[in-house]
Chain A
Amino acid sequence: MFGKKSNEKSREERNIAHTGGEDVRSDDPGRVKTGIPRLDHILKGGFLRGGTYVVFGPPGCGKTILGNQICFNFVDMHGARCAYLTLLTESHGKLISHLRSMRFFKEEPIATQAIHHVSGFRVLEKEGAGGLLNLVRDTLHSTRAKFLVVDGLESIVASSKTEPEFKKFVHELMLLTSVYECTTLLCAAESGMHPRSEATVVDGVFELSLKLHGPRALRELTVHKFRGSDFLQGRHEVEITDKGLQIHPRTEIQFDKPPGNACEERIRMPFGVKSLDHMLHGGPFSGSSTAIIGAPGTGKTSFGISYLVEGARQGHPGVYFGFYEPPPRLIEKATAIGIELEKYVQNGMIEIMWQPPLEQYLDSLAEQLLEKLRAEQLDQSRRRRLFIDSLAGFWSATAYDERIGRFLSAFTNQLRMLDITSLISDDLSLFKPEIEVRNPELTSVCETVILLRTVELRSQLHRLVSIMKMRESDYDSSIREFRITKKGIEVASSFESAEQILSGQARTVRREPNA
C-alpha cells in the first residue's frame, strides 16, 4: 500500500479509472460514435454499426435536438451522410430555425445535403407505412446515408391498425437499414407506463425523461436496453444548453470498479498550522481525503485556504473548488487573516473554481473537477492539493439525497487514483449542541476527520479543534483551542486551555506568546 509504484503503471491504472474501469476503444469499427458528450462513454463506445435504436420521451425532453446533434456530429466525425426523416407536422424551416441557436448547427451540411432533411408526413398520410418504407428505401439509396433519424414514430403507431402491423413496419425498416448498413435512431413521444411494443424488436431503447423536482426541471437519460454491449445502467443527468445535449453519467456507476490502489510513495501534507500539523504527526498523507467538519463560522474555510497556501509554498499546486465564497471575497478573507492566498492565485499555483450553488448538476460538478485534475496530470512528480468548500454544494446539486453516500465513495476514490490530497469541508448545525453530521458517509470515506467546534465560556465563544480519526497513522487525540487572528490560525500547543473551557472552570490561564 505504501510502496512506490512506477509512474507508467499508475498512468495506465488512471486511464482505466477514467473510463469507469472499461477500456473504450475510440477506433472500434463496429461502433458509431454519437459525439454527444459522454453518451458514447455510457454506451461503452457508441451505437453498434447498423443497429436500430429508439429514444422516447415527452415533448420538450430533447429528442429532436439529440437526433440532429448526432447528425451534425456524424458528418463531422465520420464524413458520411445522414438522413433526417420527420413524420411530425412541424416544417423543416421551423425545425432548422430552432436549431440555429445551437452551437453544433452549421449551414453547410444542410445546404450540401450531407444531412438530408426530408418530410415523410404526407407520404405516411397518403400511402401508409408501406409508402413510408418506400420513401426510406429511396432516401437511403439516393443519399447513401449511414445514419438515419426517423422523428415522430408515434405517427406510424397512429397510422397502424394493429400493434403487429406496427411491429412489422419496424422489423421491415430494420431489415432495410441493415442492408444499407445504416445506423438508425427512431424518436418517439412518450408511451406512458406501458412497455413500448417496438422495444422487443430494436437493438436499444433509451428514455429521455423530463420532470419537475420541486421547482426545478430535471432531465434524465436511461438506457433500458442495449443489445450486444455493456453500458452504464440507471438514470444519468441531461443538460440542454446552446451546446446541445450534454449527458452526465452517474459518478458512482462510472467508477464502480476502481483499481485496488494507485498511490505513489506517500508523504505528509501539512496545513501550515504548527500545532495542528504536530497533532496530525506531520499532516494527512498525500493521496488521502480529509473531512473538516464544523458549524458555520468555526473556521473551516480558513483552515482550507491555509492548507492550500502551505501546499503552494512547498510547490504543490492546489485547487479551491467552492460554492459559497466568490473569488474576490475569498482572497479578501484570506488577506484579513494573514494568509497569502492572493500571491499564489496570481502566480497560478492555486486556482479558484467557484460555482454558485444554484441550478447545478451533481455529476456535472464532479466531471468538471475530475476532468480538470486529469488534464493537469502531466507532471507526475508534483503532488496536488484540493479543497472542496463545501459538501453542501454537492447536496444542493442532487435530486436524490440517497445518492450522496455512494457518490462520495466513488468520487473520493477517483481523487485517490489521481493522487490528489483532498480536504472536504462539511457543515454541522449552528444551533444544536450535539454533533450531528449530515453526511456520515463523509467521515467513513475520508481517512482523516477534523472537528471544529465553538464552546461558550463566561459569555465568550471559544473555538476548539480535535482530530476524530486518522487512518493508518498515530495522531494526538487531545482537544485544542484555536484562534483565527490577523497573523493566521493559531492552535494552542497544549490541551490545557481547552480542558478549562470544556470543564467550565473559570480560571485565567497565562498564554504563551506563540500559543
Chain B
Amino acid sequence: MSRILVVDDEFDVSQTLAAVLEAQGYQVDIRENGNEALDYLKEKRPDLLLLDLMMPFRSGLEVLREMRGSDKMRTIPVVLMCVVQPTALHRELGYSAVLRKPFSIDTLLRAVESNVRARMVESRL
C-alpha cells in the first residue's frame, strides 16, 4: 500500500484530500505546516508528498529546499499544491507535478496515480 503525506495548513483541504485518497486505497498521513512535515520526513519516507506552498512556520518552498539538500529526502517525489504558478526557484529545486488550487478530484487522482506508479517503477529498477 502506497503511503502519501499531505501537508497543508488548511484543515478542511487536507481532511478532504485524505478521505479521497484513502477511498482509493492509499495510506495517508497529514501534517499542518512545514515544521511538522520536516519532522515527519526525518522519521518516515512516503511514496509521495502533496505539498502546499503557502503555510505557516515553514513554507512549502522552505520544505522543498530542505528536502533537496538532504540525502534522505532528496528523491521523494513532490506534487506542489498552489494557487499560482510555481517560480523558477521551485523548478530549480524540482517537483513532479503541480496541482493548481482549486483542483478537481479527478485531477488529484491522475496526478497521484501517475507519480506513485512512476515511483514504484523507479524503485523496482
Contact = CB atoms under 8 A, between A and B. Distances in A.
Interface of A: 89, 91-94, 96-97, 107-108, 110-113, 116-123, 125, 135, 138-139, 142
21 contacts: A89-B12, A91-B13, A91-B101, A93-B13, A96-B84, A97-B101, A97-B102, A107-B85, A110-B83, A111-B82, A111-B87, A112-B87, A116-B54, A117-B83, A119-B10, A119-B56, A121-B9, A121-B11, A123-B56, A139-B57, A142-B62
Contacts of B101: 91-93, 96-97
A139 B62 CA distance: 13
A119 B13 CA distance: 12
B116 interface: no
Contacts of A96: 83-84, 101
B83 A92 contact: yes
Given A93-B101, A96-B84, A117 B11 contact: no
Nearest to B100: A93
Instruction: Give chain B's interface residue range (CB within 8 Å of chain A).
Output: 20 to 34
Contacts of A121: 9-11
Contacts of B89: 112
Contacts of A116: 54, 59
Contacts of A117: 54, 83
A138 B84 contact: no
B61 A122 contact: no
Contacts of B61: 113
Contacts of A107: 84-85
Contacts of B10: 91-92, 119, 121-122
Contacts of B86: 111
Given A110-B54, A135-B56, A138-B57, 16 more contacts: A91-B12, A92-B83, A93-B83, A96-B101, A110-B84, A116-B54, A118-B9, A118-B54, A118-B56, A119-B55, A119-B56, A121-B9, A121-B11, A122-B9, A122-B11, A142-B59
Contact of B59 (A93, A113, A135): A113
Nearest to B89: A112
Contacts of B57: 135, 138-139
